[in-house]
Amino acid sequence: MLLARKKGMTRVFDDEGVSVPVTILDFSDTRIIRGLKNSGLFIGIGYNKSPKNPQKGIFGEDDVPEYAIKLVDDVACLDEFSVGDIVTVSGMSKGKGFAGVVKRWGFHGGNRTHGQSDRERHPGSIGAGTTTGRVFKGLKMAGHMGVKRVTIRGLRVLDFDKDNHLLTVIGTVPGSYGSIIEIYKQ
C-alpha cells in the first residue's frame, strides 16, 4: 500500500486523438515510520497537528511524528509501480451535506397536479398501516450524503514520475483535491 494526495484531474489524448480522463496523485510527503513498541510499520503523510492518544502510546509522549499516520501490513515500495500496472485506490468521497430523497436516492417525487404544490420532491408514504405501526430501519430517506469510503478497482497506471513524486492513473479517484488516497497494487 502507498499513501498519496489527490493533486487534480486533467485529460490526455491517446494515439487516435481520443480524450482520456486521468487523475494525478502526489506522494512527495509520504514517509515510512517505525513504531517504538514493535507494533509494525506505519505510513505517514502530511502534517498531524493534534495526535490522538493511541498514537502517543505507540511512539511515546515526546516522539510523536508530525505526520498523519496509518498502520499497514504491507508497504509497497516505489520500485514496484510501473507504467501499465493495474491498481486499486481507496479514499473518502466528497461531502455533499444534507440531501433530500430525490438527490440522495434518485426518487422521482410526487405528482405535479391535483393540488400538490408542496409535495413534488417529498418521499411519499414511509410506513405500513396499523399492523406494524412503525417505520422500519434502513429506509431510504433524506440525510447526510457523501463522506464515505469508496474503493475503485482496475485503474491503469499511465505515468510514473519518480523524480517529481507523481503517479498518474486513468480514470477518476474518490475525494476532493488534497485528500489522502490509498493505492494498492493488484
In a domain, residue 53? The reply is yes
- Contact yes or no for 161/82 (Cβ under 8 A): no
pLDDT of residue 141: 94
Integer CA distances (angstroms), 16 to 19, 20, 49, 145, 156, in order? 9, 11, 48, 39, 18
CATH of the domain at 6: 2.40.30.10
Per-residue pLDDT of 16-26, as tens digits, reads 999 999 999 99
In a domain, residue 105? The reply is no
State the pLDDT confidence band at 110, using cuts at 50, 70 and 90. Answer: confident
Residue corresponding to grid cell 514517509: 31
Whether the full predicted model's pTM is greater than 0.85, yes or no, is: no
Integer CA distances (angstroms), 7 to 117, 139, 179, in order? 45, 37, 8
In a domain, residue 7? The reply is yes
In a domain, residue 119? The reply is no
In a domain, residue 127? The reply is no
**Tally of structural domains, the chain:** 1
- What is the span of the domain harbouring residue 80? 2-94+147-185
